Amino acid sequence: MTDKNTFFQQNLTLNVGGRLLDLAVPVVMGIVNLTPDSFYDGGQSNTLSAALVQIEKMLAEGASIIDVGAYSSRPNAENISTDEELARLLPVLKAAVREFPDAIFSVDTFRAAVAEAAVNDGAHLVNDISGGQLDEEMFSTVGRLRVPYVLMHMKGNPQNMVQQADYDDVFAEVMRYFAEKVSRLRSLGVTDIILDPGFGFAKTASQSFELLTRLQEFEIVGLPILAGLSRKSMICKTIGRTPEFALNGTTAANTIALMNGAKILRVHDVQAAVEAIKIFSRI
């Protein structure tokens, strides 16, 4: 660590349901999409049996967190109702908590009501793509529930975010966003916060790569950083491949993220990410 980063000491543990998750060595968050239309794996895990098989595989491969989501956040995704999101999510989450009682589950939602229902049914973290912007009750709900919160940067919503990638200085704007929202979360009693720059969310490929290059500078906030790069368009456009063939590119990007301070890799391919962390940890 540099002298600057030593001064701003990072918090490298999360309280997840009374257990401490140590992030001194980076960990993997496996993605389980319970949606028919996600950009890469839509429809692959949107039945109860298929989701449980996928969760078991990810845990066996070394995932520390399983991130379960029932609302597609790909560009121009359909806007489903809260009731439909809950109907997709809760049966799988309840079954997964029963089947894998020692696992750590995160709920990927921007809706406070969904977050609360999921935590009541066994989820340990809330992963909010909107940073509280799409539901004004989210921050107070997470504060009341006393669970870790992934604070992601996004402008607009999944239906219009492609048109929102307009910045004078993308890094400065994301940093201001984090500073403002972390302060508000702290005031509401949220103690465990993870920062996610939101690669690809209201950002061009160039803007996303700028954030990846400068990822370590976010450590000044003193919070762990999550990198969600898996098979995204910034990678696909760069290597000229579709998401199905973007694992090598994803591993390269994840390695850069690790070298720049990421503590959580959010991925579709757990084994590859675990192996990248093992190689990174040797140096």
DSSP string, 211-226: HHHTGGGGGGG-S-BE
Q: Is 4 a catalytic residue?
A: no
Who's near 87: CB < 8 A, 6+ residues apart? none
Q: Is 232 a catalytic residue?
A: yes
DSSP string, 32-59: EE--S--TTTTTTS-SHHHHHHHHHHHH
- Asked if 49 and 91 touch (Cβ cutoff 8 Å), the reply is no
Structure tokens at 75: 């560009």
- Of 264, 275, 255, 212, nearest to 29 (Cα)? 264
Of 241, 266, 278, 282, the catalytic one is: 266
Of 74, 232, 241, 263, the catalytic one is: 232
Who's near 57: CB < 8 A, 6+ residues apart? 270
Report the 10 Å Cβ neighbour count for 11: 15
Report the 10 Å Cβ neighbour count for 1: 12
| Coil vs helix vs strand at 227 | strand
- Of 181, 208, 222, 232, nearest to 23 (Cα)? 222
Q: Which residues are catalytic?
A: 232, 266
